[in-house]
Every structure is written in C-alpha cells, then in structure tokens.
A = this chain, B = another copy of it.
C-alpha cells in the first residue's frame, strides 16, 4: 500500500484548481424561451427605441398640460373628448387647445398632447371631460426610447440570463441568443465492487451511487453530465475508460483514489497527463485528487458516497461554475445554535452535515460511507482545521444544500 505523500490544505487545493481552469469558449445559439440560466456570449444591442413611440403610462386622457393649470375638484377644467385611443393603433387626431383624447395604458400618445390625466382624476358627461387635478408636461407618459435607446448595448457578453434579462432581449424582437456552451463532464465510476442499479448484486458488491450524485451536482452547476460505463480495476480497462471520457471537457471519476494497492487509475492519469494534487486536509474527503490530461481537467473523488458528494459540493461545483462562466453561487445559509457538541480531527477542515430542527442545527453525520447521513441533512457546517470542537448552543452557519 502507498500512503499519501502528504495532504494540502483546502485553500491550496482551491488555488491549484483555480489556476488550471479555463472557461468554455465554444458558443451555441439557443431559442429565447430556453435561454434563462445560460451565459450570454454576444453583446445585445438594440436596433430601435423601446418603446418605439411615446405611450400612456396610465389609463386616462391625453391632454395639453397647460390646459389643466388650476384644475381641482371645485374648479374642474372642461375638455372636449375628440377620440378614443386604444393600444396597438395610432390615434388619428391631434390634440388642440381645449381638447383631449381618451387613452388606455400602453396606447401611443396622440400628436399635440404632452401629458395624461389619470381617469381617477376625471369625470365625463358625454364628450365633455371634467379634469379635477393639474398635470405637468410629460406626466404619466412613457417617452419613446425611455426603456432602451436605439444603439444601446442592453446586455454585455458574460451576463447570466434570468427572467428579466430574457425579457429585455424579447423587447428588442430577438428570438434567439448566442450563449456559451455548457461544459461537458464525463462521470466515471470505478471499482470491481460497483454495480449498475437494476442489476443483481453478487457477494461483496454494492450499487453505484456516485454516478447519480455527481450527475446531479454537475447539472446543478451549469455542466452537462454524461455517465460512462463502470470501469473494472485493471490498467487496461481503466486506460480505455479514461480515453473514452476524454471526449468530454472534464472527467470526474470516483473510487480508486485512496491508498489501496489497486489505486490504478491514478497511475493511468499520470501516464497520460499529470496529477496536480492528491490528498486534501479535509474530512470527509481526504483522498480527493486533481490533475489534467492535455487540456482536459480530471477530478478524482473519493469512492465513499458521502465523501464523494461532500467534495463535489465544495470543489467540483464551484469549479464547474467558473468553467461555465456562471457567477459564484450565493450560498444560502442560516445562523443557528448547534444542538449538541461536535468534535473535529485537529489539522483537518471538517464538513459536518446537520438537520435544521426547531431552530437548531442538529448534527446528522453518521459515517463517511453513509449516503443517508446526507440525504437526511439540510446542509452542513464547516469546522476549520485549527478548531477541535464546537459546543452545544454555539452559533454556527448552516450552508444549505
């Protein structure tokens, strides 16, 4: 057996990954109604003013503001309605002195009018409109180009699209946008004991869990996961599997990175490329490895399911977001008192799963192989390498899954 040559700190591991990352440069065209969540690869520049005409911002009457000076409930101004202006069509008449045009929100302003009196400040008697309040010029009007001006760059490349940004592209009449492709990620489970769900288990075998948890984390963080067949613990099969996986941008394998004699995949990676680290001072998840083969990044995750998933949340997810050009995820967190004391191994940064119950953070950690310790947890707390214990009732920051 080969022991770890030594572990590096979590911060060092993050720095090594950061230096090795290259954001995706391939782009693709996507229809606008599937563009939310994607990262724009082109500037979006407006070919026209939005709105393309001055419009009423309220329901009421288009007027000449000067005709309303001094209007009040007791001294209403009387105006003659000469037309009703609806949305979707241009008014026919020009508003002259003493006239007004009834207008709906969003309808184009008629020529001659420079303000809208809201309907609530009026009363009408046939075509005679009583105006109870004065308006200033431009009041209750959306002027042409007030939202977006012709030639204006509305969105810059690198912007992540969301509901409102997709809306501002739609405002320009565009039906598709050019976005960066999602990084493609190969998921490779290794180990003679690992069996595809749906197949029977022979003695000593267990089902593949990591393929499913890694797929979920990759897809949640802007990647496109493709699971590959489970590789057997032979140099030949691992080498063939790794070659297959290199058709993707990133290879994430699990298992085979502890110090057992059968840790053949690290030899395979080293033969084809280079390992940049192996072993991090975190618990769980110490045997995490990272390297590259040409321009393909390789993440080696622990085989134990909750260690694998924990490090996928901590290292793989953020790295993929950088490759996908997504903003850092804003971690949702709660500050709560810890329900009971937990201890930590000195010198190792520890991730401790907790449930949120009755306003307390309740430790949920069982053992690093147990997937249920994570599926019953709501999130995790971190205990830095220098801290040996956190007492009951101490406030902790629960980072939610």
Chain A interfacial positions (CB closer than 8 Å to B): 1, 3, 32-33, 36, 48, 50-53, 55, 57, 59, 84, 86-90, 102, 104-108, 119-120, 142, 146-148, 154-155, 162-175, 191-195, 197-199, 201, 203-213, 215-217, 219-220, 225, 227, 233, 258-262, 303-306, 309, 312-313, 330, 332, 366-372, 374-375, 377, 400-401
Question: Among B51, B59, B169, which residue has its beta carbon within 8 angstroms of that of A369?
Answer: B51
B105→A212 contact, CB < 8 A: no
* The 7 residue pairs across chains A and B that have the minimum distance between CB atoms: A88-B192, A88-B193, A164-B374, A104-B260, A163-B216, A36-B216, A87-B193
* Neighbouring B residues of A102 by C-beta, 8 Å: 1, 261
Question: Which of A164, A217, A220 is packed against the most chain B CB atoms within 10 Å?
Answer: A164
Copies in the complex: 2
Q: Find out whether the CB atom of B213 lies under 8 angstroms from the CB atom of A201.
A: no
- Known A-B contacts: A87-B260, A89-B204, A171-B371. Give 13 more (CB < 8 A): A1-B102, A88-B233, A105-B258, A105-B260, A147-B369, A147-B370, A164-B375, A166-B216, A167-B210, A167-B305, A171-B207, A171-B209, A173-B198
Q: How far is the CA of A212 from the CA of B332 in the complex (A)?
A: 27
Which residues on B sit within 8 Å (CB–CB) of A52? Answer: 201, 205-206
Residues of B within 8 A of A86 (CB): 192, 233, 260, 262
CB distance from A169 to the nearest CB of B (A): 8
Chain B, Cβ-Cβ closest to A161: B216
Inter-chain contact B259/A192, CB cutoff 8 Å: no
Note all chain B residues with C-beta closer than 8 A to A174.
Answer: 197-198
Tell me the bound Cα distance from A146 to B368 in angstroms.
Answer: 11
In whole angstroms, what is the CA distance A307 to B268 when docked? 57
> Out of B88, B175, B191, B203, which one reaches A191, CB within 8 Å?
B88
Instruction: From A147, A167, A171, name the one whose CB has the most chain B CB atoms within 10 angstroms.
Output: A167
**B146 pairs with A367, CB closer than 8 A:** yes
Q: Are B164 and A401 within 8 A (Cβ)?
A: yes
Contact residues in B for A369 (Cβ distance below 8 Å): 51, 55, 57, 106, 142, 146-147
Query: What is the CA–CA distance of A259 and B201 in the complex, to the nearest angstrom?
Result: 67
User: What's the minimum C-beta distance from A57 to chain B, rounded to whole angstroms?
Assistant: 6
Q: A203 to B212, alpha carbons, bound, how many Å?
A: 54
Q: Which residues of chain B have C-beta atoms less than 8 A from A33's C-beta?
A: 211-212, 215, 225, 227
Whether the pair A220, B163 counts as a contact (CB closer than 8 A) is yes
Tell me, rounded to whole Å, the shortest Cβ–Cβ distance linking A142 to chain B.
5
Whole-angstrom distance between the Cβ of A210 and the nearest chain B Cβ: 8
**Across the interface, do B330 and A371 meet the contact criterion of CB distance under 8 Å?**
no
Within the assembled complex, what's the spacing in Å between the Cα atoms of A88 and B167?
A: 54
- For residue A257, give the distance in angstroms from its CB to the closest CB of chain B: 10
Report yes or no: B258 in contact with A191, Cβ–Cβ below 8 A: no
CA distance A17 to B174 in the complex (A): 34
